[in-house]
Structure 1
């Protein structure tokens, strides 16, 4: 199983929060601003997505799901190895 450091996600979360806190007062999200307003809304939405993704990882919401996927991956690997072993023995018997 691949292990990742939570420290990296904490750092990225703090960086994203800092950028959002700095940029929100500067972004023009007034309806009469036109394209500038659209850009501001989209940029803020992406920033919130990044923050949400890092919070999701840090809170471990998908830890059970990851364990289940790892079990499926191991079962498929064992099945593949068994099939490969049977094919190898069958071919060796033919030759």
Structure 2
């Protein structure tokens, strides 16, 4: 499952890079402050954020944090199961 996720994020990263490379020549980032310039800057920033997010996932910078979160999630599910069982026993 993890390898499939990395493939998916790699594909999205390539698509975002291709979109950015296609759009950069068409964006008007010259001519001083204007609405067109502002749009070009904001669009570029969002594109770079998307690329950075996918790179962050692919590189696996927070792999240890992800393992800890998974352990917490499993414990939370187990606690809900115990709580549900207690409620069921009390209602009988």
Instruction: Quickly name the TM-score band, shorter chain normalised.
Output: 0.7 to 0.9
1:9-88 correspondence runs (5 A): 9-32=9-32, 34-88=34-88
**TM-score, normalized by length of structure 2?**
0.83
SS at structure 2 position matched to 1:25 = coil
Aligned length: 91
Distance 1:89 1:32 in 2: 71
Q: Deviations over 1:22-42 (max 9, x none)?
A: 221221112436111011101
**TM-score, normalized by length of structure 1?**
0.81
Distance 1:29 1:15 in 2: 22
Tell me the C-alpha RMSD between the 2 structures: 1.8
Whichever of the two has the greater Rg, that structure is: 1
Provide structure 1 residue ranges, at least 5 long, that are not aligned to the other structure.
none
- Structure 1's consecutive aligned runs of 4 or more residues displaced over 6 angstroms after TM superposition are none
